[in-house]
Chains A and B, each alone.
Chain A
């Protein structure tokens, strides 16, 4: 079912779901939403499956024309959104009629917003996911970011009789300062004690070299004991690599699956999702936690996600 025509694509808008799992051994990155929490919430607000495909909007949003009556929700970083020129709120079910014009301004806080469509965006499943992997040229809209004239298809499901609203206290705030919990390792033993202390006690700034593959950070040099390279091993989103320069690089969703720099630490899953909202010049502070503490946090987080659909307010 044709749902939207793209009038303007925005800066970098892609189709994403929760990612492509099981193919790392073939060198295929996970991809998927950078801010998974906002993607899941966006889906729940239109009673979709949490893993349904949405549009991930980066900094400057697109302009879309509805080709049918549909329901949508906008979540993530704060972005001014309008339907036919009239401002509409984020974090709730919205309805658009055939012919309506949906437009976005620049994101005011955070860096990425998510637009869900009732039923989910329908692009072909590639290796089990609809996520766009632009560097590999597959997934989403033929492996590409949105362009003018694209038609966005949606799965044909009945529209909701009643909408939903995210309770205000559950709406995340993105201040440009990120506190990120990490588990040290797997190569923390390649750094001096001073090096690890430097990493854990100073804020690091996101540089302009920041995209879906990862963020280069600027800040005090992290000292290696000796070598600054390893025989390549596997990478996952959240890994903090430190090359010879001593300046860390955080690996994100579209990064290559192996790498030859030592990893001082890996961010916990929930905080990788938060980092999806980091933009150049934002500050990141790292804190060390144990694997056990991280597992308690992840359990709480999944329990919260499981209950989230029940916590949404009915909004007739």
Chain B
């Protein structure tokens, strides 16, 4: 497995009010776990000068108050947190969410392509996509869009050559080894294989996004009929996200 985890994290300036702690330069679970762990450790350490943390695939952005600290002081402070983290076992406590998905047909117009690309049946693609647990590596692109990884090589598929102008909200896509979910209608080039009735982003809720880096996601194939039932339950606010909930 290609893991380009740096020997020691790189600390890089990001303008006058932020810095970046970079752990590597590839997409890998090992690197992302370090990012998420440092994110939690800094939150726990309650460093006063820190205003906001943004975990991404391979680095953590730390937004700070430049009136309260210098760059050097803050780097020193975070390195200390990072050092203590290295000694202890990294425990990332994220939640586990089951995402119900209708695969194929108008819900997943690229399912056929993905299957043909890999010489598989559509059922095999669905099985391979839904039997694995994925980690949320980061949220980006549009509000609430989770970058999940990583799908098995057997279904990893390149993006569309020409992105679609409109991908419907809830669409589940594949781009190389990543899989992701469109929280709202947006342009996009990911291969769309299905759709979930779950709402991934709601600015009127706290927190506004269903997922955050470090969470675990598993997809569950459902029928079109079940899609409508879940959609209706969400509207009536009686849908439960708990993975142990077998009520549906």
Contacts and interface: CB of A to CB of B under 8 A. Distances in A.
Interface of A: 21-29, 126-127, 135-139, 183-187, 230-234, 236, 238-239, 256-259, 263, 266-269, 291-292, 294-295, 297-299, 302
A298 B65 CA distance: 10
Given A22-B52, A234-B54, A239-B15, A136 B140 contact: no
A231 B27 contact: yes
Contacts of A299: 66-67
Contacts of A186: 12-14, 20, 22
A129 B55 CA distance: 22
B135 interface: no
Given A25-B54, A27-B141, 11 more contacts: A137-B184, A187-B12, A233-B57, A236-B15, A239-B14, A256-B141, A258-B140, A259-B140, A266-B13, A267-B15, A298-B16
Contacts of B208: 23, 26, 28, 127
Contact of A266 (B15, B55, B59, B144): B15
Contacts of B184: 136-137
B53 interface: yes
B71 A138 contact: no
B17 interface: yes
Given A258-B138, A258-B140, A295-B71, A25 B15 contact: no
B212 A25 contact: yes
A266 B70 CA distance: 17
A232 B15 contact: no
A197 B51 CA distance: 33
Contacts of A139: 203
B77 interface: no
Contacts of A23: 143, 208
B56 interface: yes
Contacts of A258: 56, 138, 140-141
A183 B71 CA distance: 12
A266 B17 CA distance: 10
Q: Which of A29, A183, A234, A294 has the most CB of B within 10 A?
A: A234
B223 to A, nearest CB: 30
Given A24-B52, A231-B57, A126 B141 contact: no
B143 A136 contact: yes
Nearest to A266: B15
Given A258-B56, A298-B66, A291 B13 contact: yes
A231 B67 CA distance: 31
Nearest to B15: A266
B178 to A, nearest CB: 10
A232 B138 contact: yes
B13 A27 contact: no
Nearest to B140: A258
Contacts of B139: 25-27, 257
A95 to B, nearest CB: 36
B15 A238 contact: yes
